[in-house]
Amino acid sequence: MANVTPSQTVGPFFDRQLLWPDGGTILLPASGGERITLTGRAFDGNGAPVVDALFETWQADASGTLPAGGEGARPYGYGRVVTGADGSYTIHTVIPGSFKGPGGETYAPQISVTIFARGLLKAVQTRVFLASLDAINDDPLARVLANSDRLSTLVATRDPNDPKIYRWDVRLQGSAETVFLDT
């Protein structure tokens, strides 16, 4: 009988230089827009908080332009945050505008998210919409998921007590798993 190699967890083993002290504040060229805070928690398949996930985000500015340039080595529209001891994260940004894709399709206001976390062999990618379900109907991804209750896993909800705060929880597995994109 052959010896079985034990399974190994892949990271995350992030170099501390990958983390920015202000990585949760999205830098954008002076384009104005409504300032908001996106906050939430990351959970594993058992509902336990994921305390060491790295969220990388990319977004359009308030006018729907995908920004170029940036300050130093940090590109505009890009952020990087690590989840805390309770699985929480916080991102300070502006509501991105709708934008046109390469084929002319219109994309609803959204933030692209890549998540690196313990136990994942490769990062997962998803999106979070910052508009109601009714307002994202024309988005290509929303159309694909239109007849599924899974679309709601991609929609951040406004805090009823503070409309500048949006909440979006991520579930990496399980019954309410967030929709992840094949890349």
Kindly state the average pLDDT of the residues 148-177: 95
> For 3-12, 49-58, 125-134, 170-179, which range has the lowest pLDDT when averaged over its residues?
3-12
Query: Burial level of 16, CB count in 10 A (0-12/13-18/19+)?
Result: exposed
Could you give the count of Cα atoms lying within 13 Å of 46 in the half-sphere of its Cβ? 3
User: Is 169's pLDDT higher than 70?
Assistant: yes
Confidence of residue 134 (pLDDT cuts 50, 70, 90): confident
With a pLDDT cut of 90, the percent of the chain lying above it is: 63
CATH number for the 18-166 domain, one of 1.10.3720.10, 3.30.465.10, 3.90.1150.10, 2.60.130.10? 2.60.130.10
Q: How far apart are CA 82 and CA 60, in angstroms?
A: 21
Q: How far apart are CA 179 and CA 42, in angstroms?
A: 13
pLDDT in tens, 4-14: 655 555 555 55
Q: How far apart are CA 168 and CA 156, in angstroms?
A: 5
Q: Pick from 55, 32, 53, 35: which is nearest to 44 by CA? A: 53
Helix, strand and coil percent figures for the chain, each rounded to 5:
10, 35, 55
Residue 10's DSSP bridge partners are none
Q: How far apart are CA 168 and CA 110, in angstroms?
A: 12
Strands 54-59 and 110-116: antiparallel
Quick one: pLDDT at residue 73?
72
